Structure 1
């Protein structure tokens, strides 16, 4: 495995975990407010 590939994998792994953490934060905030955009959309459709 080349050094570039190793570096890319490390960056990708860190980026992925950060994205996951950010998504969790958004989900927690939506839960606290008890109104996620998706739920509002579903309510509008029904």
Structure 2
């Protein structure tokens, strides 16, 4: 069972590395010290 998990994780990482990056991360820092992070992902089929 562990082998199948490792194979799926490795193949998923390789698939993600081969695709162009269609995501963006934006961090907002407010004057009162609050931090807000948003991640935008553009799905491409």
Q: Which has the higher contact order (CA 8 A, sep 6+)?
A: 2
TM-score by length of 1: 0.45
Structure richer in helix, relative to its length: 1
TM-score by length of 2: 0.45
Structure richer in strand, relative to its length: 2
Which has the larger Rg? 1
